[in-house]
Amino acid sequence: MPPETKAALAELYAQAKNPVYCFALSILRDSFAAEDVMQETFLQVWKSAPTYRPSGKNALTWILGITKYTALARLREGQRAGIPLEDAADKVDPRDAFRDCENRIVTQAMLAQLAQDEREIVVLHVVTGLKHREIAELLEMPLPTVLSKYHRSLKKLERLVREPS
Amino acid sequence: MKPEEIKTRLRDEMADLAPDRLEDLLAACDAQPQEHARAAGADAGAPPPGVEAARRSRRVRAAARRHLRLPRA
């Protein structure tokens, strides 16, 4: 790989790895699987870079789209193992979700108590900085649904942090 | 804790969660440079989607006109 390409990929990785990892974690609730999905996403970005056309979207939205499909493919592997897709992320051993989250109280509450779509919306808005409109597009959900789920999730988190069970 | 504080706290807690596996990624990319170069080369030289089909279609129509001795449309 030419040095300038390597430097560009390293720069992109430094900027986008955390949003990609956190989004994958919000889908999968398993830090090892999220790490694999993060690597697979960047490998896919590298392979697809020659055909990338901005078309009005920011590059992070495009990368997070790859993350979403890679993570959902992971969940489907679980489905093939006999776990329904909608339940696959919730069947993960909670110890896997919290492996890197000791003393991260809000993160733990989010991973443990929010539903998968709520986790995705909260992480995409709060951690990756996507606008609600971009989240609606990425998750293929109506904008009002994204907004109501987001506000409901924040209230839920507020309650959970105040009164941990 | 107010919603704003929840957001700030979550952002701080998740700010450095991702592990750094850049070296693994670069090694994985290096393992397939030819594939990437081929894709880049093919992309640079290839017409946009649909153009080749339109060219083919024009060629077919031109050949049909010549064969049937029809005037240009």
Q: Tens digit of pLDDT for each residue in B5-62? A: 888 888 888 888 899 999 999 999 888 765 565 655 555 555 544 555 555 555 666 6
Start-to-end C-alpha separation, chain B: 74
Per-residue pLDDT of chain A (165 residues; tens, 9 = 90+): 788 888 989 999 999 999 999 999 999 988 889 999 999 999 999 988 888 887 777 889 999 999 999 999 998 887 666 555 555 555 555 555 555 666 777 888 888 889 999 999 999 999 999 999 999 999 999 999 999 999 999 999 888 888 766
CB A165 within 8 A of CB A113: no
Give pLDDT tens digits for A24-70.
999 998 888 999 999 999 999 998 888 888 777 788 999 999 999 99
Angle at B39 between CA B35 and CA B44, to 5 degrees: 150
pTM: 0.75
Interchain CB contact of A128 with B (< 8 Å):
no
In chain B, which residue's Cα lies nearest the Cα of A107? B10
C-beta atoms of A39 and B21 within 8 A: yes
Distance CA B11, CA B6 (A): 8
CB-defined contacts A:B, below 8 A: 96
